[in-house]
Amino acid sequence: MSTIRRQLFGLSDRVRASPLKAWSLAICAFIVSLYVRFLSDHLLPPGFPYLTFFPAVILTTFMAGLWPGAVCALACGFAAWYWFIPPSGNFELNASVLVALAFYAGVVIVDILLIQVMHKALDSLQDERRKSDALLVEQKRLLGEQRDRERQQRILQRELSHRMKNTLAMVQAVVSQSLRNATDTKLAAEQASARIQALALAQDALTATDWEAGDVETVVRTAIAPHNDGHNRFDISGPSVAIAAQPALGLALAIHELATNATKYGALSVPDGKIIVRWQTPGDNQFQFSWTEANGPVIMEPKRSGFGSRLTERIVPTYFKGKAQATYHAGGYEYHLRGTLGSEDET
């Protein structure tokens, strides 16, 4: 029953929304009610002039709205007055006619008003329902956004914890290795401080990309910036290559170590010295990096491997799952790193 009622009210909404349908229904209802009244005239006793017109007015008002219903009521009233209220065939007014017309007017006015009140109540109910549905949709959307924010916050917290652990582990290794077997604690502290500063600069560069994959050139130029005197001492070239955060920190630390040694003992310690930095990706996810010093002093391979050498040749390559090789020749020092770029999930 409720389904039929919903369908009936839905049909009424569609008819009322279309003026053509509404007025067509009013005209049809009047014509049909007049025709049926003529057909049943000989079957009805005197005193029933409005028998077929009341349903037409009620149906039109319910289905088509106020004004089509009111016009249909007027047309039906005049038709009943002319043809079915004695004396028929004219619009004569007398006491009995006035009573009949007043009765008709009272009934149709009450019917039309009641139907209009019902429609208003239903329209108001539908508006409230639409508002409730809209609020429910908005509430679901807000709840979904809140769940997304909470999930994102948990991811960020885990990511932050992961990065802090990696960074602290790297800082701890730098400090402990710098101080281990140090004969001059002040010099060792200065070296540790410089290395930590290099890490901080690399982290600043990564922060600019929200710690997503950085660019190798950005890492290289950031790491050599403290050693670049602006006299074209560095020849830097390589393709645009994305590198994950942790390998980027390792590469920055290695470059800092290489540049520091070059400033003290290598190509940067003489006026004409020059450093050539190259990198490439020869295969899928493969990475090669080279640091070549030219026009520098002759450097002898040290007899004892210090932390700087262990850092560049053993520790940093692990971030690339690769290997590093250092060579000493008459023209200077060369460093080659081969490995893979890796991904952030591996760090």
Q: Cα separation of 30 and 73, whole Å?
A: 8
pLDDT band for position 196 (cuts 50, 70, 90): low
Give the DSSP letter string of 78-135.
HHIIIIISSSTTS----HHHHHHHHHHHHHHHHHHHHHHHHHHHHHHHHHHHHHHHHH
pTM, two decimals, is 0.48
Q: Which CATH class is domain 180-346?
A: alpha beta
High-pLDDT (> 90) share of the chain, %: 33
DSSP class per residue in 266-291: SGGGSTT-EEEEEEE--STTEEEEEE
Q: What is the mean pLDDT of the chain?
A: 82
| pLDDT-wise least confident of 59-68, 118-127, 335-344 | 335-344
Please give the pLDDT value at position 166. 54
Q: What are phi and psi of 42, to 5 degrees?
A: -75, -15
Q: What's the rounded mean pLDDT across residues 33-42?
A: 91
H/E element holding 76?
Answer: helix 66-79
Which of 15-29, 39-53, 108-122, 199-213 is predicted least confidently? 199-213
**231 pLDDT above the threshold of 60:** yes
Give 150's pLDDT tier (boundaries 50, 70, 90).
confident
Query: What's the CA gap between 123 and 161, in Å, rounded?
Result: 56
Question: Which tens digits make up the pLDDT trace of 69-80?
Answer: 999 999 999 999
Confidence at residue 163, expressed as pLDDT on a 0 to 100 scale: 55
The predicted pLDDT at position 161 comes to 63
d(CA 260, CA 312): 12
Q: Tokens standing for 179?
A: 């101080």
- Does pLDDT of 175 surpass 50? yes
> Please, which residues have CB within 8 angstroms of residue 6's CB and are 6 or more apart in sequence?
none
Residue 181 pLDDT > 70 = no
Tell me what the mean pLDDT of segment 26-38 comes to. 94
Q: What is the pLDDT of residue 122?
A: 83
List the chain domain ranges. Answer: 2-140, 180-346
Query: pLDDT band at residue 192, thresholds of 50, 70 and 90?
Result: low
pLDDT band for position 183 (cuts 50, 70, 90)? low
